[in-house]
Structure 1
Amino acid sequence: MPALPSVLITGASSGIGAVYADRFARRGHDLVLVARDDQRMEALAATLRAETGVSIDVVKADLTQAPDLNAVAGRLREDDTIGVLINNAGAGLSGQFADQSSAAQQNLIALNVSAVVELANAVAPRFAKAGSGAIVNIGSVVGLAPEFGLTTYGATKAFVLFLSQGLAFELGPKGVYVQAVLPSGTRTEIWDRSGADPANLPPLMEVADLVDAALVGFDRREPVTIPPLQDAGLWDAFQGARQAMLPGFAATVPADRYRG
């Protein structure tokens, strides 16, 4: 029986990433854990090694810093035992757009967008050549909801969704599975790190529930998994409406409503 692929998980020291590590370890996959907090990852790795017997590498990296990002990307290019990438590392940003500093927004984009692209780009050629592999990108329902008022954060997550759908279109025929996971509010440390007021937090999903639902979608090879969406037909209708517009984009004259 061929060995199970190793799984590289970013943002693996806590929250969603840590639960993904637990679940894949219990499925028998070796792991590469990536995050800034190596002490928490080492503690998690020690527990999972003792309980599951899998091999776990811990890589301390700040994915907003080019040397660290390049090192992780290099590992993805060169280590052909890694067959699953979980692009989970991300951050939030509280407050209104006009009150956020440019530096804070650029740092958010570096982690939520640039790092996701860099790591997917590092592994995609190898997966495509092998005709197998999986890329899981953690987005957010906020990327579908400008009404929520999290403008830059939502824009980064809209990017993650589009990137995932585009990669699925390109890489799916080559045997590579790409999944976008869109959580709603989930009980993780992202709220504290973003400076959110605890008194104003929305109802939150438990992390284990979120990851377990995402893995059901993973096993079913869903392209987009939205654990909090109770009526899957709404997403199907959204996709249908979007795809119905595609032929109209080829028109070479403006629509009648734009003519004098």
Structure 2
Amino acid sequence: MSLTPEDEDLLASARVGLEPTGEDQKRVRRAIAAQVALAASISTASATAGAGAAGASGTTVAAASGVGGLAKIVGGFALLLSVGVGAGVLVTTRPGPPAAPSAAEVTSSPLPSSPSSPSSPSSPSEPPPKVVASVDVSPPPPEPVDTKPTAKPSPQPSARPGPSATGEGSLGAETRLVRDATSALQRGDGAAALAALDEHARKYPQGVLSEERDAQRVLALCALGRVAEAKAGAARFVVRHPSSALVSKVRGSCAGP
């Protein structure tokens, strides 16, 4: 780097009064001697110690490097003395390119310990078996059946049963009632005959034997001396059954003209 005349004048003015004295030179020499002695002791100790070949080689190289560093320091102090720079003088030096690491340094650097072989990965645990809730598919128990017989309300007898009461089963009952009335008339018991006929009219108002019942009723009223009622009954009979074979019998009773 070239200096301009102005830079040289500036450095010259800065050096005035800064030349090293004899005391400064002695102090620098003592410091250099102490550094050299320290480097020598380090080199000797490093040469005798060493746990192994690789470790000793690395330590020796390190010691040599330390001596080299001290030599550079000594050279630096000598340079300071030669140029007359003491305390307070600024010297700018360009660092040289970094020295390539020697083979010994590369060899002596401890190799990274191989990571302990990872334990063989445990085989992936099989997924736990799925818990399948058992479902009871058995049919539900039958509902309890009330074994007590349910009391069915007895049907109230209708005062005037409809025509449906004239079935085959009821024909026998009709015949029995009309027969009972005829037997009572033959005995001269008009009251018993009228009672049987009234029961028939109540149970079977439109029964199969309704025609015979109405004729027998006129005769029963005559037997009881209830002529007016007998005549009224006879008139209704002729209106309801004008072509009946029993019309002559009704008219031949007390209810006739």
Q: Which has the higher contact order (CA 8 A, sep 6+)?
A: 1
Greater strand share, 1 or 2? 1
Determine if the TM-score, normalized by the shorter chain, exceeds 0.5.
no
Larger radius of gyration: 2
